[in-house]
Amino acid sequence: MAVVLSVCAVLCVVAIVVDRLFGRFVTARIREVFENVPPFGVVPAEQSQTAKTVQIETRDGLTLSGSLHRPLSDAPPVGLVIFCPELNGNHWMAGHYCQALLQHGFMVLGFDFRNQGDSDSQPDYIPIHWATEFELSDVDGVLEFIESDQQLSDLPLGIFGVSRGGVVALAAACRHPRIRAVMADSSFGTMTMTRHFVERFGRYIIPEYFFSLLPTWHINRNLRHATELSERKRGCRYVHLENEVGHLDDTAIRLVSGKRDSYVSPAVATSLAELFGGKELLWVVDKAKHNMARTVSTEEYDRYVLDHFGPIAISSNSAAATAEQPAGIPAEQSAP
């Protein structure tokens, strides 16, 4: 009996050592996949001649560049929407994604995250496609800028983000009740997306047959270790929507994704929708690739955006809505 127990003890020790050595190897390889930025091919937008450029200060002393787009009509604005661009995008892209809002009475405030576009750079930080607390800190600065401006602070507030910017927008809505509506285009949950990457490129890390034998808890543990290793190496903290959603109140949410998106697959987009309340929150645009939904279905996209943000202006600007409803914003409108 003693011999059997000794053998079992030795086997347990060997198993633990092997598992730790395997974990170190796999964690390092997963980190390489995790930090590899896909070739998005982003083309920043040209400067708008009608928008006003603004400078926004962050709490840690950086200056962010932005642009304030006024409604295309002379009527008083009915609401304000913050625009968060994708990685390597710029604040001028707000005019493209939010054109319908500008046509129907909204102001739009776009800005460049730190280390992006015309904003200041943080020397020890290199942004990649994963949202971090640094980007959330930039949004905090934008919100303080809004609250310091009497014209902007009284307007009902929404937020709109694309890809990584959409992740930031969703997290900001979870943290700031002041935000009453959020839309995210081509966005994702960090851990869900990481799992998708690993399943897609796992054969480059370990043999495919061996990967298929690993239990889910083991894979998830190594994914967490890989993201934690990346945080230590890069000096940042990643934003996990899975941890943020519990703080969300009754903020209205809508998601958009492309059916031909090879980066954020429909399955990943659906997982994000289910995290925030259900598949009905998501519109998957046929034939659209990553961030190309509006290009593929412009009219339907604009109608979808108006249908979502319109009600916050109506409900929060009850006096203005009673006097005269802004043209083109129906009280109720069906999604595409």
Contact criterion met (CB below 8 Å) for 134 and 114? yes
In the predicted model, what is the mean pLDDT of the chain? 84
**Is residue 220 over pLDDT 90?**
no
SS3 254: strand
Write out the DSSP string of 65-91.
Answer: EEEEEPPSSSSPP-EEEEEEPPTT--G
Residue count of the chain:
336
DSSP-derived secondary structure letter, 245:
G
pLDDT-derived band at 22, boundaries 50, 70, 90:
very low
The distance from CA 226 to its chain's CA centroid, rounded to whole angstroms, is 21
Question: Rounded to whole angstroms, how far apart are CA atoms 108 and 71?
Answer: 8
The rounded radius of gyration (Å) of the Cα atoms in the chain is 23
**Is residue 70 over pLDDT 60?**
yes
- Nearest CA among 174, 167, 165, 232 for reference residue 194: 167
- Nearest CA among 63, 154, 61, 158 for reference residue 111: 63
Give the start-end residues of each E strand in 171-304. 179-185, 252-258, 282-285
pLDDT-derived band at 332, boundaries 50, 70, 90:
very low
Q: What is the pLDDT of residue 172?
A: 97
CB burial of residue 81 (10 Å; 0-12, 13-18, 19+): buried
- Nearest CA among 325, 314, 324 for reference residue 181: 314
Hunting for tokens 């009280």 — which residue is that? 331
pLDDT-derived band at 164, boundaries 50, 70, 90:
very high
Q: Quick one: which H or E segment has residue 17?
A: helix 2-35
Opening angle at CA 84, ends 91 and 102, nearest 5 = 65
User: Which of residues 61 and 2 earns the better pLDDT score?
Assistant: 61
Question: Rounded to whole angstroms, how far apart are CA atoms 179 and 226?
Answer: 33
Tens digit of pLDDT for each residue in 116-158? 999 999 999 999 999 999 999 999 999 999 999 999 999 999 9
Q: Is the dihedral of CA 109, 113, 115, 116 positive or negative?
A: negative
Question: Rounded to whole angstroms, how far apart are CA atoms 130 and 165?
Answer: 9
Question: Rounded to whole angstroms, how far apart are CA atoms 117 and 273?
Answer: 30
